[in-house]
Amino acid sequence: MHDATRVIAGECTTVFEGTREREQRGDVLVVVKPDNTVLVHDAAGYQPVAWLTRAETVTMDGTRLEATDGDQHLAVDIHEEIASGRYPVSAAGEPVGECPDCGAALVRVAGAVVCTGCDARYGLPGDATVLDATCSCGLPRMRVERGREIEVCIDRDCESMDEAVAQSFDREWDCPNCEGDLRIIRRGGLMAGCEHYPECDTGFAFPAGVVVGECACGLPLFETAGGQRCLDATCDLSAPEVDPAQPS
């Protein structure tokens, strides 16, 4: 089911009280979004003449609309209503395919692919690229870099990125503290953590990048969007292993 947005066109007086006080009158378009954001638009520009973002409360009482958030207050008195209505709205984003459940457009928004027609939502890693390729389940596939390029379905219940990473890198590297194997695990984020946990609590967040070699410390070296880095984020690549200027 879709959230509804309320729209009112009419001749209104808008009074905003808060950081600054302002009263405006004119023929405007009032938009109340499902998250309680209220926007009052006049004839010019992209910016509303008055607004309150994600208000705590929005009430409609007769011809008066009021929105309150902390000590900010927005009141709109509708002197003459020209049109009003409630219309379905969805998230909008870059189209990436078609929902296999309802046939509506799937779009990429921050951190997820969502359906514009139903409740379907697939959380994505921030660095994921959604591909034109379609999974056998009907959803688009995505590419991420986790040690190597990995291509999986955007639905983790269909195909697990973690499993693909583990297939390539589980027990691939040694723990620098106890020589145990580093296992690929998820503890909040994806990690390479020592198999002897909790006796050994060595663990590294898995970087978004591909392995391009080995660091002087013995751990793998990753090429990431921010440049080369060691699996151990605290390992300083620029420091020479032995400082010749240092007296021994």
Distance of CA 245 to the CA centre of its chain: 47
In the bound state with Zn ion, the residue whose beta carbon lies nearer, of 60 and 104, is 104
Report in angstroms how near the CB of residue 122 gets to Zn ion at its nearest.
10
> Residue 209 and residue 193: Cα distance in Å, rounded?
18
Alpha helices in the chain (DSSP H): 161-169
Q: Which of 215, 223, 224, 229 binds Zn ion (CB under 5 A)?
A: 215
Nearest to 26 by CA among 88, 73, 82, 66: 82
Kindly list the distances between the CA atom of residue 27 and the CA atoms of 15, 87, 136, in Å, as whole numbers in the listed order. Answer: 14, 21, 52
Report in angstroms how near the CB of residue 133 gets to Zn ion at its nearest.
11
Please say whether the beta carbons of 159 and 147 come within 8 A: no
Residue 235 binds Zn ion (CB under 5 A): yes
Residues in the interface with Zn ion (CB under 5 A) total 26
In the bound state with Zn ion, the residue whose beta carbon lies nearer, of 67 and 99, is 99
Residue 92 binds Zn ion (CB under 5 A): no
Residues 164-203, mask of contacts with Zn ion (x by CB under 5 A): -----------x-xx-x-------------x-x---x-x-
Q: Which of 4, 105, 112, 217 binds Zn ion (CB under 5 A)?
A: 217
Q: Is 40 left (phi over 0), alpha (psi -120 to 50) or beta?
A: beta
In 103-226, the DSSP E strands lie at: 105-109, 112-115, 121-123, 129-134, 140-153, 182-187, 189-194, 203-205, 209-214, 220-224
Q: Return the residues of window 64-83 that contact Zn ion according to CB under 5 A.
A: none
In the bound state with Zn ion, the residue whose beta carbon lies nearer, of 2 and 79, is 2
Please say whether the beta carbons of 194 and 232 come within 8 A: no
In the bound state with Zn ion, the residue whose beta carbon lies nearer, of 6 and 156, is 156
Report in angstroms how near the CB of residue 127 gets to Zn ion at its nearest.
20
Going edge to edge, which strands form the sheet with 209-214?
Answer: 129-134, 140-153, 209-214, 220-224, 227-230
Q: Return the residues of window 106-165 that contact Zn ion according to CB under 5 A.
A: 115, 117-118, 120, 135, 137, 139, 153, 158
58 secondary structure, DSSP code: E
Residue 102 binds Zn ion (CB under 5 A): yes
Question: SS3 helix, strand, coil % of the chain, rounded to 5?
Answer: 5, 55, 45
In the bound state with Zn ion, the residue whose beta carbon lies nearer, of 42 and 162, is 162
In the bound state with Zn ion, the residue whose beta carbon lies nearer, of 82 and 237, is 237
In the bound state with Zn ion, the residue whose beta carbon lies nearer, of 8 and 183, is 183
Q: Which residues bind Zn ion (CB under 5 A)?
A: 99, 101-102, 104, 115, 117-118, 120, 135, 137, 139, 153, 158, 175, 177-178, 180, 194, 196, 200, 202, 215, 217, 219, 230, 235
